[in-house]
Amino acid sequence: MTDFIFGHYVYWSIIALLIIGLYGMIFKNNLAKKLIGMTIFQVSIIMFYVASAVKWSATVPVLDPVTGVVDAAKYISPLQHCLMLTAIVVGVATSGVAFSLAIVIYRHYKTLDESVLMERMKSS
Amino acid sequence: MRKHKYNPIILMVSRVVSPFIMIFGLYVIFHGHYSPGGGFQGGTLLAAALLLIRLAAGFDIAQIQFKRILGTPLGSIGVLIYFGTGFLAMISGGEFLNYGFLPFAGFTEAGLRALGILMVEIGVGLAVMAILVAIYDDLLEGYPHD
Amino acid sequence: MKIVNWLLLISFGALLIYASLGLPNRGDGDAVMHREKSPAGSWGASSYYIRNAYRDAETLNMVTVILADYRGYDTLGEETVILTAGLICYLVLRKRRTNRDDKKPLKAGADAQT
């Protein structure tokens, strides 16, 4: 039981982070807060990938040039790190796009609140 | 709108710290073959060094360091370096992005692949640095900076 | 409507926690995804990368080899996405210098910022 809890508490905290992000996306009316929730959601996904690559009794995926590959099980899987490396930078760029769209919405309708925004979109 | 006044202490500290961050970014790009690092991380560090000056000194003074108009062309050049590396391998007999066919003499095939990876990482770092700074500048567009 | 949202959120969280109970312990070396061979008997991708990265590219850092060599197309696509994001920010937010009819919302936006 203790082994189970110590092996899974990271997943549960990542799920808590994901639920916080989803809460921000669903319940908040302000578009900027929705974007913050989306970023938290994204970070939780990245953390899940990195947590799935952890292996005790193994080392980082940088080869020791003296010994070479003796045992492939002594290195953690480099695939998840590679995927998330690009995902972080692309996430920053796409959140920049999202914030620029929010800025344009604010300039045009002079509000970021969703309910007010819907009314102004209908009336105009 | 209150005029933006920069704090001389913060500006002094950022001026001292920014070149070291830049050197570390270059180290991360060029030493990415032998230690954790690579184009994405190093490009982000270079962008952080530029953005630090932009935050501390204000938009107009930071134009001396990195002009706003440079952002999109440098990003395009970075992507073109990547694409050109792949294309160079293609026109010299291999497949697209197969670095083993790069036309440089005096390398083994594995050494050519290491060289191709280095060229690609430089392109990625350049593009990431330029685009992150450009996104910051574009988000400031229309904001009445001093 | 709010109750439906709460129910959706809580049920989604419960579903995720129920799914996480089936995951292996974190860092367990004997888990299926960390083995060298899949249950069907074929070699896994990660062990192939670990074994052959230095032989193929003379680069010690396997993540770099995967990023730039084995998955070069992927990284080219990601970089294009970054460039496209920068171009979109530029095109959406730039000041329009031509005198067209859609000048009105820009003026209103300039008033709102002061």
pLDDT tens digits, residue range A85-111?
A: 889 999 999 999 999 999 989 988 989
Nearest CB neighbour to B97, from listed C58, C73, C95 = C73
Confidence of residue C113 (pLDDT cuts 50, 70, 90): very low
Backbone angles phi, psi at C30, to 5 degrees: -95, 5
Query: What pLDDT does residue C45 have?
Result: 83
**Closest Cα in chain B, distance from residue C71 (Å):** 10
Which stretch of A35-39, B4-8, C97-101 has the lowest confidence by average pLDDT?
A: C97-101
- Rounded to the nearest angstrom, the gap between the alpha carbon of residue C38 and the centroid of all alpha carbons in its chain is 25
Of residues C68, C80, C94, nearest to B121 (C-beta): C68
| Average pLDDT of span A41-56 | 92
How far away is chain C from the Cα of B19, in angstroms, using its nearest Cα?
Answer: 25
Contacts of B142 in chain A (CB under 8 A): 107
What is the DSSP code string of B26-85? HHHHHTTTTSS--HHHHHHHHHHHHHHHHHHH-HHHHTTTS-GGGHHHHHHHHHHHHHHH
Which chain C residue lies closest to B115 (C-alpha atoms)? C57
- Tokens for B58, please give them: 């204000």
The average pLDDT across A48-69 equals 86
- Whether residue C84 is predicted with pLDDT greater than 50 in this model: the reply is yes
Mean per-residue pLDDT of chain C: 82
Q: C72 pLDDT exceeds 50?
A: yes
As a whole number of angstroms, the distance between CA C95 and CA C82 comes to 22
* Cβ–Cβ below 8 Å for B142 and C72: no
C-chain residue closest to A79, CA distance: C46
pLDDT surpasses 70 at C100: no
Q: Residue C104: is its pLDDT beyond 80?
A: no
Measured between alpha carbons, how far is A69 from C30 in angstroms, rounded to an integer? 20
Mean pLDDT of chain A: 90
pLDDT attached to residue B143: 66
Q: Return the pLDDT at A102.
A: 92
Q: What is the pLDDT of residue B124?
A: 93
CB neighbours (10 Å) of residue A113? 14
In chain B, % of residues over pLDDT 70: 93
Is a pLDDT exceeding 90 seen at residue C41? no
- pLDDT of B1 reads 43
What's the gap in Å between the CA of B111 and the closest CA on chain A?
A: 15
Flag whether pLDDT at B145 surpasses 60.
no
Chains with 3+ CB–CB pairs under 8 A to C are A, B
CA end-to-end distance (rounded Å), chain C: 37
- pLDDT score for C1: 82
- Per-residue model confidence as pLDDT tens digits over B22-54: 999 999 999 988 988 889 999 999 999 999 999
Instruction: Kindly tell me if the per-residue pLDDT of C108 is higher than 50.
Output: no
Q: Per-residue confidence at B3, pLDDT binned at 50, 70, 90?
A: low
First to last CA, chain B: 10
- DSSP string computed for A31-68: HHHHHHHHHHHHHHHHHHHHHHT-BTT-B-SB--TTT-
